[in-house]
Chains A and B, each alone.
Chain A
Amino acid sequence: MLIDHPLLGPRDASEFIYMGDAKLLNRPNWKSQNSKTKFLDYGYLRKNPAGVHKELWYHEQGDRSWLLVTRNTVTHEILKVELARDTKGK
């Protein structure tokens, strides 16, 4: 599988580490009213869809960047790759 890195071009997936669901980018506010429930959701609950999924990949054997990859988990087709730093909070 090739991941088309936004800065470096297509790179072999062996250079990356899969770091899970991209919901980890949106950490709940600990001051919010139901923060306990939100953190339970943030820490443990995942949708695990069969289809389009936004996920985090870390380019460990490369430039050490974090990527937000939109991938179809059924076909493994990669639909979009962005730098996580450019998308956080959007």
Chain B
Amino acid sequence: MAKLDLKIKKPLDGYSKVINQIKIAEYQFDNLISLAIPLKTERKCKLNFKKSLGEPMPNIEKSIINKSGILGFRIGLDLLLVCNPSHSSFVKKTVPSLKQAFYITDQTGGWCGVRVDGDRVIEMLERICPLNLSQKIFAIGDVKRTIMDHLNVIIFRETEKKFVLFSPSSSSGSFLKSIEISSRNI
């Protein structure tokens, strides 16, 4: 039997381009899971989150990043997302630990990340994003779920002028096109 060498293909195939001084690049990650807080167990979940990831569970629309680079986003009162860029023991250690308190769903294949970075990034986002992007309202480390060009997007602010946008992988091509067009039109 032939030996198969399987490789993971990312939704945008490692896309990277600069348009009007805005760097647009696929944000690659190994795992993305959602955590749902079972009814009336928030306290238990907070303790478990701290034990599993080494950081306190964030408040709504806030995020954490732990020593291993794992990101945690709270996008609803009872819903979080955890994104693992490349930590090797995430599936074997972190996920089983989180499972002791949360309902977990693997969403790795469902989302695609795009990082946008550059001096004119706010001008580009203002064309497609209905949120107030001023740092007073949307600070570094904040995360919000919203709609851009009719598509569901989770936006995370890494620095003043650097954002990661997660959109459903099934429509990631259309979303990338909106970002490209918006970048050209500023």
Point out residues on A near B: beta carbons under 8 Å.
7-12, 14-15, 61-65
Contacts and interface: CB of A to CB of B under 8 A. Distances in A.
A61 B147 contact: yes
Contact of B145 (A7, A14, A63): A63
B6 interface: no
B147 A63 contact: no
B77 A15 contact: no
Contact of B61 (A8, A10, A15, A64): A8
Given A7-B60, A8-B60, A14 B147 contact: yes
A17 to B, nearest CB: 11
B151 to A, nearest CB: 9
Contact of A15 (B79, B132, B137, B146): B146
A23 B131 CA distance: 31
A65 B77 CA distance: 8
A63 B130 contact: no
B146 A63 contact: no
A62 B76 CA distance: 8
A16 to B, nearest CB: 10
B75 interface: yes
Nearest to A2: B130
B152 interface: yes
11 contacts: A7-B60, A8-B144, A12-B147, A15-B146, A61-B146, A62-B146, A63-B77, A63-B79, A64-B76, A65-B76, A65-B77
A61 B75 contact: no
A58 B146 CA distance: 13
Given A8-B60, A14-B147, A15-B130, A63 B137 contact: no
A63 B75 contact: yes
A61 B145 contact: yes
Contacts of A8: 60-61, 144
Given A7-B77, A8-B61, A15-B130, 17 more contacts: A9-B137, A11-B130, A11-B131, A12-B146, A12-B147, A14-B130, A15-B146, A15-B147, A62-B76, A62-B144, A62-B146, A63-B76, A63-B77, A63-B79, A63-B145, A64-B79, A65-B77
